[in-house]
Amino acid sequence: MRFGAWEGLRWDEIVARTPGLAAEYATSPTYYVAEGGEGFDALCDRIAPVLAEVTARLGPDGRALIVSHAGVMHALLRVALDVPDESALGITFVPAGVMRLTGAGIPWTLARVNEPVAP
């Protein structure tokens, strides 16, 4: 997600500059667009063709690996599962956790979330 003027800032620094954001923390990407940044809708619009391309290029085993930060994972959930923002943003991802989606068209199925990586 492009954060524009907020790029590289911690949440407390962003809130200090824009105090009204603190109350909407859980779903804040649906309420704000930083100057020079993009909102959640725009991120989802960028994710949709990527998901379509990855799906079209699946190998014979039907698997693909996408490595990402949480913002993209939330957008991927909204697009792949065809769910409202609140559902896509309502999941908290653990660092280095694995999210597994199954399917070949919209909507996909969320098979697992926050699965630990095998050593």
| Average confidence (pLDDT) per 10 residues, the chain, 119 residues | 89 83 65 85 93 86 88 93 90 91 85 86
Which range marks the domain in which residue 25 is found?
4-115
Q: How far apart are CA 111 and CA 98, in angstroms?
A: 10
Report DSSP letters for 6-70, one per residue. Answer: GTT--HHHHHHHSGGGGGGGGGGGGT---TT---HHHHHHHHHHHHHHHHHT--TT--------H
**In this structure, what CATH number is given to the domain that contains residue 76?**
3.40.50.1240
The closest of 107, 91, 93 to 55, measured between CA atoms, is 107
Predicted confidence at residue 50, as pLDDT, reads 92
Domain count, the chain: 1
